[in-house]
Amino acid sequence: MRRHPQDLAALGRLLRRYRQEARLTQEQLGFKTKLHRNYISLVERGCHAISFTALERWLDATGVSWSEFGRDMDRIRRDA
């Protein structure tokens, strides 16, 4: 499956929104998820694909359910 830059950018914007709504800095999210803040920055800017494990940690740390994430991604892809 090919990754499209616009998909990575949309995912990054969504994950940034989740982090900001949880009132976490990139550093705080990194501490909670054991992900490096540079990695978080790259994902949020759409420069790096996120692994399933890292996504799971991110959603858990920001209090977002998988169903909410799925609905948000569907909405983003539909509106694109």
CA distance 53 to 74: 20
pLDDT value of position 1: 41
Helix crossing, 66-79 with 5-21: angle to 10°?
A: 130
Say if residues 57 and 51 touch (Cβ distance below 8 Å): no
Residue 3 has pLDDT above 90, yes or no: no
Query: E strand or H helix at 65, and its extent?
Result: none
Domain ranges of the chain: 5-75
Whether the pTM exceeds 0.95: the reply is no
Mind listing the pLDDT tens digit for each residue in 16-64? 999 999 999 999 999 999 999 999 999 999 999 999 999 999 999 999 9
Closest by CA position to 57, among listed 18, 8, 6:
18
Q: First and final CA of the chain: distance in angstroms? A: 19
Q: Which CATH architecture has domain 5-75?
A: Orthogonal Bundle (1.10)
pLDDT value of position 44: 98
